[in-house]
Amino acid sequence: MPGIVIIGTQWGDEGKGKIVDLLARDAAMVVRFQGGNNAGHTIVRDGEEFKFHLIPSGILHPGKTCVIGNGVVVDPSVLIGELDGLRRRRVDVGGLRLSANAHLIMPYHVMLDTAGEAKLGKLEIGTTKRGIGPCYADKSARLGIRVQDLLDPKILRKKIAAALEPKQQLLRPFARDPKLDLHAMTEEYLSYGHRLEPHIADTSRLCWDALDSDQTVLFEGAQAAMLDLDHGTYPFVTSSNPIAGAACVGAGVGPTDIDEVWGVCKAYATRVGAGPFPSELTDEVGVHLRDRGHEFGTTTGRERRCGWLDLVALRYATRLNRLSTLAITKLDVLSGLDPLRVAVRYRGSEGAVFEEFPYHQSILHSAKPEYEDYPGWEGDISGCRSEADLPAEARDYLAAISDNVGVAVGVIGVGPGREQVISTGVRAG
Ligand code: IMP
């Protein structure tokens, strides 16, 4: 003990990597439990930028065990590319462990993702086209290929053949793609197996051992609550469960192993891809947020949609995750905006008021946010290192968020750098 889960409370890109990086200082292990290389975490260390898609952000701390848990879907070529990139930059990757039970993203998953989006046309989800949805679909259909299969050539070939067969029709447009050749694919994946073998382990057991010997284990979420397959803005969601409860399933630990749940929330809101976003701003304030906040996707480079902070959605995420602590990131991006607005409720198209996040998709699609305004502040706050350094208006803004959702703020981000954080000292258990 303790186990600490860190999750996104919005639509992803909240800066979870930075908070994981901060909390990892006191942890023995960092575990990713869902998602795949649709995620992108950027960490700036001593002015040097690191981007991760699969490897847990904790890898930048020497001596930590970093786990890719069974709930993650792994594109082995991406993982090997990340390992090689880190090695080139002299980062020790010896502590990386990969669950033998994690599922593999195969070339046909990526093709199916692309083909599926094309077929949806205007109704497309705006996926990252990394094969995430089709890989999780195969996992549920029991046609998945797992990391452990890489170590057995006969089984690997058999399983790939079985998984490919039902997809022939759907994959017709790619029929001539050499990547779909059974023999070539098996050989390619066997070579990945050779590279990854030293990292493959029973990672649930590793978590057990660490928790049992009173070491701190961080469970690092990817994406965020509003993209949750069950609780998010379905179907405009990802294909895994990025909420805290999924940490147990995706890492192989029990619910009583979790002691704290940190929710990471940007001081405003962003979303990439399609789907409802009630507090979206299409005016110059939205552009200001995008430009000041560098709101372009780490994974796909897409422009992020920007808007005011949505407390209806944040209260919903607080409930789904039973947050113990909030980390508010990118507060510095709001400098110079006045007033600052936060959505506190929605009004439906027929005038009904929604204090709670509406469960019906049609309501959400047409819901208009109602705002409360707070005075903004001038000047650069990126050098602030304590709450007392912040302008009174910034402190009031944070207090309003915390009061509204009933969760204390533990960390405030005021810039991209590793050191650009304020710890409030609050550790609600
Ligand atoms: P998929 O996860 O690639 O299937 O994409 C499904 C939806 O989740 C799309 O709207 C993506 O833009 C979104 N999404 C997936 N991963 C992330 C992420 O790490 N940050 C933000 N949005 C994401």
Mutational test site, ligand 1, from 37, 114, 117, 128, max ligand atoms within 8 Å of CB: 128
Please give the distance, rounded to the nearest whole angstrom, from the Cα atom of residue 120 to the centre of ligand 1: 16
- The answer to whether the CB of 112 is under 6 A from ligand 1 is no
Mutational test site, ligand 1, from 223, 295, 299, max ligand atoms within 8 Å of CB: 223
pLDDT (0 to 100) of residue 35: 98
Residue 35 alpha carbon, nearest atom of ligand 1: 2
What's the Cα-to-Cα distance from 228 to each of 140, 144, 221, 232, 302, rounded to whole Å?
A: 16, 21, 11, 4, 20
d(CA 330, CA 266): 6
pLDDT (0 to 100) of residue 182: 94
- The answer to whether the CB of 307 is under 6 A from ligand 1 is no
Nearest CA residue ID for atom 5, ligand 1: 127
Residue 240 alpha carbon, nearest atom of ligand 1: 2
pLDDT tens, position by position, 104-138: 999 999 999 999 999 899 889 999 999 999 999 99
Domains contained in the chain, CATH given: 3-89+203-423 (3.90.170.10), 103-198 (1.10.300.10)
- The answer to whether the CB of 227 is under 6 A from ligand 1 is yes
Mutational test site, ligand 1, from 16, 264, 272, max ligand atoms within 8 Å of CB: 272
pTM over cut 0.85 = yes
Please give the distance, rounded to the nearest whole angstrom, from the Cα atom of residue 224 to the centre of ligand 1: 9
d(CA 133, CA 122): 18
pLDDT (0 to 100) of residue 43: 78
pLDDT tens for the 429 residues of the chain, in order: 599 999 999 999 999 988 998 999 999 999 999 999 999 887 778 888 888 899 998 898 888 999 999 999 999 999 999 999 999 999 999 999 999 999 999 999 999 999 999 989 988 999 999 999 999 999 999 999 999 999 999 999 999 999 999 998 888 888 888 889 999 999 999 999 999 999 999 999 999 999 999 999 999 999 999 999 999 999 999 999 999 999 999 999 999 999 999 999 999 999 998 999 999 999 999 999 999 999 998 777 889 999 999 999 999 999 999 999 999 999 999 999 999 999 999 999 889 999 999 999 999 999 999 999 999 999 999 999 999 999 999 999 999 999 999 999 999 999 988 899 999 987 644
Nearest CA residue ID for atom 15, ligand 1: 38
Please give the distance, rounded to the nearest whole angstrom, from the Cα atom of residue 32 to the centre of ligand 1: 16
In terms of Cβ atoms closer than 10 Å to its own Cβ (0-12, 13-18, 19+), residue 349 is exposed
- The answer to whether the CB of 125 is under 6 A from ligand 1 is yes
- The answer to whether the CB of 9 is under 6 A from ligand 1 is no
pLDDT tens, position by position, 188-225: 999 999 999 999 999 999 999 999 999 999 999 999 99
Please give the distance, rounded to the nearest whole angstrom, from the Cα atom of residue 102 to the centre of ligand 1: 19
pLDDT (0 to 100) of residue 48: 86
- The answer to whether the CB of 240 is under 6 A from ligand 1 is no
Mutational test site, ligand 1, from 238, 266, 295, max ligand atoms within 8 Å of CB: 238
DSSP 186-255: HHHHHHHHHHHGGGEE-HHHHHHHHHHTT--EEEE--S-GGG-TTTSSTTSS-SS--STTHHHHHHT--G
Considering the chain, what is the average pLDDT of its residues?
95
pLDDT (0 to 100) of residue 427: 64
- The answer to whether the CB of 272 is under 6 A from ligand 1 is yes
Q: Tell me which residues are annotated as active site.
A: 13, 41
DSSP 280-328: B--SHHHHHHHHHTT-B-TTT-PBPEEE-EEHHHHHHHHHHHT-SEEEE
Please give the distance, rounded to the nearest whole angstrom, from the Cα atom of residue 303 to the centre of ligand 1: 13
